[in-house]
A and B are shown apart, each in its own frame.
With several copies, the nearest count.
Chain A
Amino acid sequence: MNITVKYFGVLAELTQCMEETIVFTKSTVIELLEVVYQKHPTLNGKNFKVALNNELVDMGTIVSEVEVALLPPFSGG
């Protein structure tokens, strides 16, 4: 399926991309991230969390949403 991957903060800076479509044939978040790392080696070793449907999820979660957000450490306030 087609996944829209969104990058925020330092991640958008590193990938020079705020949003892109990735064709994804596997199932879990970690498998999606493997594709992402291959496209954007600069993300390797960076600290971030993944949100599906506006909630943080862990690496083993099945990618059921078409929109996935990669979120660096929060720094509001």
Chain B
Amino acid sequence: MKTLIRMKNNKKKSVFIDGAISSAFIADSIAKHQTKTSIGAHNIFLGQVRADEVNGKKVSAIEYTTYEEMANKKFHEIREATFEKYNLTCMHIYHSIGNVNAGEICLFVFVSATRRKEVFPAIEFVVNEIKAQVPIFGKEVFEDESHQWKSNT
């Protein structure tokens, strides 16, 4: 709900979604592209929270926080750089903020192009840039409510 309010106020689409990204949201996003009949290929990347085991304890969820102002700037730069490098028709990025349980989706990147050759390198570029450039912080919460801080490698 916060996301919707933010979208209306800023008159621009927000990347951040409160909690997990639902499969219904992804389906809706796919369906919206059916009027764009110059598109021949879509590529979708989904990040899913793993129930990793660390010292015998299982991750039950990740809690994401962000430096939102810088994150939005970085997402914007990644968007611009991607459209510069690849011949895409459109591109969407959504990232969870707050709690996402193991098995749920926390990142949804969606690129579309006339031809399939463009989408493969584009999706990989976007995902790697997000991981490297965007100040998002994941706290892995274990089943016993202890936690550790995640770090992208």
Contacts and interface: CB of A to CB of B under 8 A. Distances in A.
Contact of B150 (A13, A54, A71, A75): A75
Nearest to B135: A71
Interface string A39-60: 0000000000001001100000
Interface string B72-88: 01100000000000000
Given A8-B137, A9-B139, A74 B132 contact: yes
Contacts of A77: 47, 95, 106-107, 116, 127, 130-131, 136, 152
B67 A75 contact: no
B39 interface: no
Interface of B: 47, 64-67, 69-70, 73-74, 95, 106-107, 116, 127, 130-139, 149-152
Contacts of B152: 73-77
Closest 9 CB pairs of A and B: A76-B136, A9-B137, A75-B150, A54-B70, A73-B151, A75-B138, A10-B149, A77-B131, A54-B73
A74 B134 contact: yes
Contacts of B132: 74
Given A77-B95, A77-B130, A77-B136, 20 more contacts: A8-B135, A8-B137, A9-B149, A10-B137, A51-B67, A54-B70, A69-B67, A71-B135, A71-B137, A72-B149, A72-B151, A73-B149, A74-B131, A74-B152, A75-B150, A75-B151, A75-B152, A76-B95, A76-B134, A76-B138
